[in-house]
Amino acid sequence: MEEDTSTSAGKRNTVARRKAICSSCRKRKSKCDSRLPSCSTCLAHKSQCHYDKPPSLAYVRSLEARIEQLLLERSGNSPHGQVNMTGVNSDRWVSQISVDSHGGVSFHNPTSVFHEAPSPESRLDTLTQVSSGTLSIPPGDGGNHQVDQIKHSLVSNAAHQRRLEDLAIGNITAIQSDVPADVAAEFLRFHWCWIHPMFMFVYRPAFTRNSPNQPETPYFSEPLLKVLLAHSARFRVQDSEDREAANAAMVALQQQAQHSLAIRLTSPSSISIVQALLQQSARDFAFGNSSQAWLYSGMAFRIAIDLGIHLPSDKLRGYVRSLTAEDIEIRKRLFWGCYTWDKAMSLYLGRMPAFIPPVESNPPDFMDDFTEHDLWEPFYGSEQAQAGTPRSGYPPQKGYMISCFTGLCKLSTILSTIMLEIYGTSSTNTPPDPSSPNPKNSSFIKISTSIQKWWAELPSPVRLNVQNLPPTSPPLHIVSLNLFYHTTLILLHRPYIIGNPSFSNPAVLRSYHICITATAAIHDLLVLLTSTFGYGHTTYLNCYNTYVAATIAVLHFQLREEENIVLPDTGVDTEKLGLKFFLEVLQRSAMAMPGLNRSVEIVKRHMQGILERRSRRYLESLFPVSSSPISTAPRQQQRRQNPRHPSSTTSTNPSLLTPEASSSTTQYPNFPVGVQTPHSDSVADTNYNAYPTFNLEGLPAFPGQDFNMGMDCNLDQEIIDPQTRAAFLGLDPHLTLNHESSDWTYGGFYV
């Protein structure tokens, strides 16, 4: 061990003491000892020894300026001049690259003491490549052949590794001895089928290629393997006959994964540890450990930035020659995996996005499209497959994974804008000058246009028309992308109908129609999904889509109960707006993902508040004048005894979960107007006190938005004020906006 350490230290010292090579030795291609005033080789040959002075930084900058000037002059005559100019302008990120003595990429700005800029020689070579168009290849410049070669190489490698995958997984017991090879192979099949296609954290060919070799390789590590197995174990638990034993095995595997992950975090940064942290974050998120999920994802984002994952991967080869085409593909996929996961998690938790690097210089263009045409079929486990269950009759279909993931990447950029510019608290809802327009309305018009463009450009194989759905569901990730699209529509238009029940404004009417139609579309897609794959294989993202649709279903139910509001005719079947089906999806999915129970409780408490208010109003219509005052002391005492969990003392009457529930099925006490009910301390109910007649605030848009004050500081009561919640976490869960004009148009989404 000491010998290895001294050897590596000697290598580092050798690199650090490296000096220039004289011009004569460079021409002769002979070894130069860099002695002064003359090297030994030149003394032996009796030749003049001369050391070329390296180009100065000023000289490099002058060449940059000259190249930019020449490109500007050529832009008028060349159809690709603008493309090349864009490449030079986007080259400013070079100052953020730091390359160590071994050629590794890291991220340190020039102000850092660790910053080590690329050498002038590599800088000059890169500038030459930019000027010639070989580094950033524009269409039609003769680079298509090179791109095709790279694609063919990556696709061929992916196909080859797929054939060897079973053999590689068979040798996995040398690394993960606690899990038999057949069980590990089954868990990984669960992962590639149900978890992997949506966010693509792991590049499958590199993972399976490195797995049988050794525990630590650039794209395979023991923590990553254990996290993947622990995350996928839940699918075996829900289908196992002995759930207790399967659950105990899953918990033990999860503990091993966390222990291995904690040890690996003490080692230098690597791509495999970023992938493992993201997977662990997703696993904790599904099981309701939101604080741990937020922590793991934050570490993943920090390590990714430390590795320079956020820098343009396809341009790094000009500075780091050791990067192969596969390395660039992996870095780009990991960048977008971080970006998309950050947006999905921020939505549910109601927090500002944490991973928001510029995306213009790193577009989601992927070279390896092997999984685009690879056949996909659901996997329910080896036991179910051998039993020949009806679910095993699914006809294999093309996966279109790359098109789906590319669409998710682009949709996530729109969602990031929605969170930052619509739900964010950086700009207030009411502008300082009442006569000036609200900047959020300008953002609304811009985002509406972006969503229409995204839907129009989405490839037809992954764009589902809810008016003409197939009898069998397409692959899960395709349906998930379409569900996420309709959820994005609701999130954009919801603030304009929450708190504004007047449909006299045409713009408000259009927003209401879009929300109702999108909710019906989510209903139809979920029916197709669950009828084909069942409830146990829905993802956490799909359940958030379900919750958002449930918020509109509750809103529709509340509006329908108001006597002074006439609902506009949207042409949507009211059965598709029923709350019962959405809650069934959430409750049955919560058996495998306990984190969903919070969403169910939020909807339940809100419906209880609506029904209690309706019952109170009905009783007040029968007895408009109270004959004697009602003592509220017992009610207040009950509220003080259990201030934070009012729903724990209430019955879970299933009739509360359906729009058809009536006051005759449940007995409610007679509370006078202005007196708090036993449920008034909950998120959904307290807000009704300020509106004794009618309140259209609706459910929170982010069900996981919560406060963690630490073990030593507990909140005396739940923070329910929207402005306070938004100030704490950055996103307003009860945002309300007003359309300032009805000039915006929306072409619809059944294109």
Cβ neighbours around 625 below 10 Å, total: 5
| Mean pLDDT, residues 588-600 | 88
Residue with tokens 């590599």: 122
Higher pLDDT, 319 or 222: 222
User: Which residue type, as a one-letter code, is found at position 47?
Assistant: S
Q: Measured at the alpha carbon of residue 177, what is the angle toward residues 174 and 180, in degrees to the nearest 5? A: 105
Percent of the residues in the chain that have a pLDDT greater than 90, as a whole number: 34
Inter-CA distances, 9 with 13, 17, 168, 726, Å: 6, 12, 35, 52
Instruction: Give residue 51's pLDDT.
Output: 79
Rounded to 5°, angle at Cα 399 from 144 and 402? 40
pLDDT digits over 284-334, tens only? Answer: 988 889 899 999 999 999 999 999 899 887 777 777 777 889 999 999 999
Per-residue pLDDT, 430? 47
Which tokens belong to 91? 């080259």
Lowest-confidence segment of 206-215, 319-328, 530-539, 653-662 by average pLDDT: 653-662
Contact by Cβ (8 Å): 130, 328: no
In the chain, count H helices and then E strands. Answer: 27, 6
Nearest Cα neighbor of 489 from 465, 456, 459, 516 is: 516
Span 248-261, average pLDDT:
91
Alpha helices (runs of H) in 181-289, residue ranges in sequence order:
181-190, 196-199, 204-210, 222-239, 243-264, 271-286
pLDDT at 120 over 90: no
pLDDT of 200:
96
Tokens 């864009």 belong to which residue? 86
Considering only residues 654 and 592, tell me which one the structure prediction assigns the higher pLDDT.
Answer: 592
Query: Whole-angstrom Cα distance, residue 196 to residue 562?
Result: 45
Average pLDDT, the chain: 75
Write down the pLDDT at residue 126: 42
Q: What's the residue count for the chain? A: 751
Q: Where are the domains of the chain?
A: 70-142, 154-397, 400-429+436-623+649-729
**pLDDT computed for residue 328 by the predictor:** 92
Q: pLDDT-based confidence at 110, cuts 50/70/90?
A: low
Cα–Cα dist 550/727, whole Å: 26
Q: What is the C-alpha separation between 345 and 282, in angstroms, rounded?
A: 9
C-alpha distances in angstroms, 20 versus 32, 194, 540? 9, 55, 57
Is the pLDDT reported for residue 622 higher than 80? yes
Residue 70 has pLDDT above 80, yes or no: no
